[in-house]
Each structure stands twice: as C-alpha cells, then as structure tokens.
Amino acid sequence: MIRLADEAVNHFKNTDDEHLSSKFAQKKLEYTYYMPDKLFEKLRESANERGINSKGEFYLENNSEKAIHELATKVYTSNDNKLIIKTLLYHIYHHAVNGRYHSAKEFFLMSHIPDISASLDANTQVIYNRTLIQLGLAAFSLGLIQETVSCLADIVATGRIKELTGQGISKFSVNEKEEVRRLLPVHMHINTEVVDAVHLIAAMLIDTPNIIADASDNTKRQISKVYRKLYDQYKNFHGVPETYRDKVMVAGKDLQRGNWKKCYENLVGMNLWNNLTQDAQKAKEHLLVKVKEQAFKCYLTTIQSCYDAIDIQSLATKFELEKDAIHSMISKLVFNKEIKAYLDTESNCLIFEKADVNHLESKALRLADRVSTLLVNNEKIMDSKYGNYGITDKDINDGMNNKRLLNKKKMNHMLGKDKKKPKPRRN
C-alpha cells in the first residue's frame, strides 16, 4: 500500500490535478505516520541482511522527519479542510512518537485543533485522541510531568482508552457497525497499560506532596481523581506489588517517607519501559531527577514540625544531589510558601520557623470544636425538656462553676429533691 501510494503521488506530480496529488499524499501519510525511527532502523537492517534493494522506498529512508514534512506540505496546499486537519494530526503524532515533544506541541498549539475538537467527526476524533496520548508520552520521556498529566488525565479518567483510540468497541454501543469500521489494525495500536502507568506515575509525583501538605483536607489541590481514588484503596495495602498499579502505589508510599531509592526501584522495575516508543534510557534519567526532587519536598514537609534546623550537607548526602540544587529547591519551596524556613549562610543550615499549629494539632482542634458543639446541642435539648433548673445569669456572672451547678440541679430535679416541702397547717 505504501508503494502504491508513493507511485500515485509521483504520477500526479506531473499533472495539474493538485487535489488527487494531495489526497494520495495524505493516504501515504496514513500508512506511515505512526512508525517511529526505531522501526525504520530495524526495517533497514532487515532489508540489508536479506539483500533487498531499498533504494526509493519511503519507509527505509534515512530522514523520516523530512519525508513526512514534504508529504504534509503537499496536503497543506489543498483546499480540503478535513484532509488538512488529519494531516496536521499525523504530522504532530510523528513528531511526538519520535520524542520531538516541543516541535509537536508547537504544531499542536498553532493548529488550534483543541478549540474545535468537540466538532470533529468520529474518525478524526480517534486520531486526535491518539495524538494527545503520544504528546503525553513524549512529555514524560523528557521529564515534563505536569504536561504529561494535562495531556493524559481526561482520556484516562474516562476509563475507555481503547474505545477512544479506535482499539475496542464499547459494551453499550448504539451503532456497533460504525465502531467496527473505525477500528485500527493491531500494528497501529497504542499500549493502553503503558498509557495508564505513565499517567499514574506522573500523577503520583505531583499529588503525593500535595497529600502530605494538605493532610487535614485530602480534596485540596487534587491533580488526578484516578490517582486519589487508588490512593484511598491502597491505604491498607501491605502485600508484594505485582501489577503496575501495585508498584506505582507502593512507590508513592516510599515517596511520602522521602525514600527516593525504593521509590525509583519500584518504578524502574515495571515492564512499561520496554514498550515505550521514545528513548527509555533518557526517560529513566529524567524520572530519577523528578523522584529525588519530589522525595526531597515530601521529606522537608514532613520533618519541618519536628526539627529546629537541618544541615544542608546532610540533605545533599541523603538525596545524592549537589548543594546548588538543594539551595535552588529550598528557595522554590520557601518562595511558594510550602515550608516555613530560611537559609542561614553562615552555619550552612536550613532553619525552620515553628508553625502555630501543625496538622495533628489542627485535627485535634477540629475534633474538640465538634465535641463542644455536640455537648452544647445536647444541653439545649435537655433544657427544652426539663427547663433551666433555676440557673440565672447572676450565677454565671459571679464566676460559679456552671457545669457542677447544672449537674447538681439536674440530679436534684430527677430525684425530686428540688420540690418545696409543704408547710404544716395550724389548728
């Protein structure tokens, strides 16, 4: 099919029919846009081993980026908006699948396709979802965690990744035949477990410090509903992690304790790295940096109520970071008011400012307020039933022990001792 499309494009080059030429160029893109350069390299090696003449074959060209750009440029000159939108998505997808995230993002924003995504037809919507997922994976491979969550969160939250990417049929589909026609061949599928695992890792790195900082209220600064739901489910999990979700949630617990080594080991031990189309080694290196940063943030947030000061050198040794990096992260945390502390350059220490109320104390105060409110309500109910038992404002103003007096009068009322004795009659 690629060879036929290539011959058709070359044929219509010599004619004046630009519409057919752009249409066949778009068709050639459709069969090649999803291929990463790694696959091209393997195809070239296989062709050389078998002695196949690969000259002129598009899928064996050295520079796939240039070839895709030339094909896309032919389609951009046409007047068919539908073809242009699809070609833009193909072009963005090819940049993203090869790790060129910044180029892909630039095309994506310049195209303004997100503004009209709701009005796209079903087939184009599938391509749009696939492109958005590849953008998220490309951002993850470069250590851009926030961008990863923003690209993947909406699709993962639906729980229908396969249906939205043309890899499965919905159980409650109204028109099953239409959905079957939209299904993509297996060799074009995106690994949905990799997508889910990458989203959970990115959400874990962002949400875990927020959970520690807002321990009194778990709904504040919520980044991913999917991760928070799993976090509640895995609170009492103490088994051996087996699935990728188990490993991510156990890594999140290690991150909370500031144990970046165990956290990183659990994440690297997953099978997703073999299925990542981008450079897996670079992705691991960026992930290690992010894990250290977030573990450092969790560690300082946890210990700030227990320590008066801590040595910068000990922090650098614990997290295996340079002093400049430690200074930079501390300055950022102080500037964002995430910790109350300041750096003492003379002693080379981080000195914590004691907060008025810590998380445990705030919870205790909230509990005391609720118990106090409950007691007041109970007393009001008792007063409405039995009366105020003769307690006056003068008793309160005189500084008497109100609770003791109230309990005594209640007891006398219940025993009948507060009734006045009748006076004896005189004959």
CA distance 369 to 371: 6
The answer to whether the beta carbons of residues 199 and 150 sit under 8 Å apart is no
Max CA separation in the chain (angstroms): 141
Mean residue pLDDT of the chain comes to 80
Cα–Cα distance, 160 to 140 (Å, whole number): 21
pLDDT at position 335 is 87
Percent over 70 (pLDDT), the chain: 80
**Whether 54 contacts 60, CB under 8 Å:** yes
| pLDDT above 70 for 394 | no
Sign of torsion over alpha carbons 390, 391, 393, 397: positive
Most confident region among 25-29, 150-154, 335-339, 378-382 by mean pLDDT: 150-154
Instruction: Tell whether the torsion through CA atoms of 305, 307, 310 and 316 is positive or negative.
Output: negative
- Going by pLDDT thresholds of 50, 70 and 90, the confidence category of residue 77 is confident
Residue with tokens 């026609």: 181
In angstroms, rounded to a whole number, what is the distance separating the alpha carbons of residues 344 and 356?
22
| pLDDT score, position 422 | 52
pLDDT band at 90 (very low <50, low <70, confident <90, very high): very high
Please count the other Cβ atoms lying within 10 Å of the Cβ belonging to residue 364: 12
Residue 356 has pLDDT above 70, yes or no: no
Q: State the pLDDT at residue 134.
A: 93
User: In this structure, how many other beta carbons lie within 10 angstroms of the beta carbon of residue 24?
Assistant: 22
- The predicted pLDDT at position 177 comes to 82
Q: How large is the average pLDDT for residues 381-399?
A: 59
Mean pLDDT of 9-16: 67
Write down the domain spans for the chain.
2-178, 191-303, 305-355, 359-415
pLDDT computed for residue 322 by the predictor? 87
**Region of residue 112 (phi > 0: left; psi between -120 and 50: alpha; otherwise: beta):** left
Confidence of residue 75 (pLDDT cuts 50, 70, 90): confident
Where does the pLDDT of residue 351 fall: very low under 50, low under 70, confident under 90, or very high at 90 and above? confident
What is the identity of the amino acid at 141?
S
Q: Average pLDDT of 72-97?
A: 88
Q: Is the pLDDT of residue 419 over 60?
A: no
% of the chain surpassing 90 pLDDT: 18
User: Does the structure show a pLDDT above 90 at 136?
Assistant: yes
Sign of CA dihedral 150, 155, 156, 162: negative
- Give mean pLDDT, residues 48-68: 68
CATH class of 305-355: mainly alpha
- Among 77-91, 146-160, 202-216, which is the least confidently predicted range? 202-216
Tell me the CA end-to-end span of the chain in Å, nearest whole number.
129
Q: How confident is the model at residue 196 (pLDDT cuts 50, 70, 90)?
A: very high
In this predicted model, which residue has the larger pLDDT, 340 or 204?
204
Mean pLDDT of 50-77: 73
Average pLDDT on 172-180 reads 78
Least confident of 8-17, 130-139, 160-169, 194-203: 8-17
- What band does 237 get if pLDDT is binned at 50, 70 and 90? confident
> Higher pLDDT residue, 421 or 106?
106
How far apart (Å, rounded) are the C-alpha atoms in residues 204 and 145? 10
DSSP-derived letter for residue 190 is -
CB contact burial 284-301 (16+ within 10 A = b; e otherwise): eebbbebbbbbbbbbbbb
Q: What is the pTM of this model?
A: 0.76
Structure tokens at 378: 């109970």
Mean pLDDT of 54-67: 65
Q: 55-64, 112-121, 361-370, 417-426: lowest mean pLDDT where?
A: 417-426
Q: What is the pLDDT of residue 59?
A: 54
| Whether residue 409 has pLDDT greater than 70 | no
H-helix segments, 304-392 = 312-319, 323-335, 359-386
pLDDT in the model for residue 56: 54
Task: Give pLDDT, residue 125.
Answer: 92
Kindly report, residue by residue over 204-229, the tens digit of the pLDDT.
Answer: 999 888 888 765 444 456 677 888 88
Per residue in 265-291, pLDDT tens?
A: 989 988 888 888 777 888 899 999 999
Question: Average pLDDT, stretch 150-166?
Answer: 89
Question: Which of 113-127, 153-167, 353-367 has the least mean pLDDT?
Answer: 353-367
> How far apart, in whole angstroms, are the C-alpha atoms of residue 48 and residue 37?
17
